[in-house]
Amino acid sequence: MQRRHLLLIGTAALAGCGFQLRREPELPFQSLALTGFPPDSPLALGLKRQIKRTPVQLQEDPARAQVVLEALHEFRDRTVVASTSVGQVREWQLRLHFDYLVRRPDGDLLVPKVELRLYRDMNYTETAALAKEQEAANLYSAMHSDAIAQVMRRLAAVKV
């Protein structure tokens, strides 16, 4: 009983200070088109999934959309950060680069070019190569989720 009482007090204290869980961003437009993405882009797939959770309609034809999100550059790679004296890799840096802009169908810019850069460091050993490949895939997936969340917040701030 006392534990429940403490939980209620803690909940009331959080509510009183204005704490709220982060909600899905509310987009201030009715239709959106995604252009410039490669056909198998994980970012495009994730953005479409997020946008379908909102009342905004996805348009295939940019001319019919109220707002157009145009991907200018999407790139991911890895570089060696540390290696041994015999050339064995000990640490990778995983990178995701995504450049985009938000415009109207007539070309008027709503958000100028945004250069989104995400990096994650990952240690590496050859004895666990398969596990490290799975870890890299998980880190890339987390970077894509982070990038999608940032783009959605930027779209929510667009003034149409």
For 9-65, write each residue's pLDDT tens digit: 666 666 666 666 666 778 999 999 999 999 999 999 999 999 999 999 999 999 999
Tell me: pLDDT of 123 over 60. yes
Looking at domain 25-156, its CATH superfamily turns out to be Lipoprotein like domain (3.30.160.150)
Tell me: pLDDT of 1 over 60. no
In the chain, domain spans: 25-156
Which residues have CB under 8 Å from 38's CB, separation 6+?
44, 74
Q: Are 142 and 14 in contact (CB under 8 A)?
A: no
Residue 155 is predicted with a pLDDT of: 95
Stretch 100-114: mean pLDDT, rounded? 96
In angstroms, the CA 87 to CA 117 distance is 28
Sheet strands side by side (includes 109-123)? 57-59, 31-35, 67-83, 89-103, 109-123
Which residues have CB under 8 Å from 48's CB, separation 6+?
34, 58
pLDDT classification of 125: cutoffs 50, 70, 90: confident
Stretch 118-132: mean pLDDT, rounded? 92
Tell me: pLDDT of 138 over 80. yes
Mean pLDDT of the chain: 90
The residue among 39, 20, 97, 101 whose CA lies nearest residue 68 is 101
